[in-house]
Amino acid sequence: MALQEFTQEIKNFVHDILQEVHTIIPGRVVSFDPNRCEASVLPFGNFKTPGGKLLPFPQLNSVPVFTMQGSGQAASVVFPIKPDDECLVLFSEQTLDTWRTKASSKTDLKFDMSNAIALVGLFSRPNPLVKTAADKDAVIIDRGGTRIALLPNNTVEITGNVTVTSNITATGAVRGSKI
C-alpha cells in the first residue's frame, strides 16, 4: 500500500469515528418536567448512519435543563419552559450519571446523545427586546409586557402592576402623579 493510500485510509477512519461524536446542536423542547428540571428534547437536523443513510435525530429524554442560579440555589432567575421552546443541546464529554447520582458509572460514552444538557433560550428568530436592552444599556426582565428594566444610572423602571408582600423601606423622595 502506498503512503498516499495509507494516509487516505487514516483520514477515512478518523472521519468515520468523528461521525459518532456529538457536540452541540439546536433543538426544541417537546415536554418539560419542572419538578425534575428535565426535558424531552428533539434536536434539529439529521445524522448519518454508518451505512450513509440520513435519519432525523431521535428524541432525547430526561435531559437536564440549565437555569440561571447560584449561591447553592439561593439566587435564581427562572422562567417558564414550554413545549416548542427552542434550546441549545450540549453533549457532555463525560457521562452525566456520575454527576447526577454522585455515584460512579460504568459507562464511558463521550459526547454521546445520552449525555445531553439543554440550554433553553436559543431561538432561531431574534427577540426585539434584545435591541431595547442594547439601546438602553439595560438589564431587562420581561413577561408579556410586564417589565423591570435595570438602567445604568441606578434607575429601575417597572412597567405593570406591582404587588408588595412585605415591608417597604424608602430613603429619598417619593414622587407620584395624581390618580
Would you say 135 and 125 are in contact if contact means Cβ atoms under 8 Å apart?
no
> CA 68, CA 76: separation in Å to the nearest integer?
6
DSSP 8-state class, residue 36: T
In terms of CATH architecture, what is 3-120? Beta Barrel (2.40)
Domain spans of the chain, in order of start: 3-120, 128-159
For the stretch 110-166, pLDDT in tens is: 667 788 899 998 888 888 888 989 999 999 999 888 999 999 999 999 999 999 999
Query: What pLDDT, in 10s, does the model give residues 19-55?
Result: 666 788 999 999 999 999 999 999 999 887 778 889 9
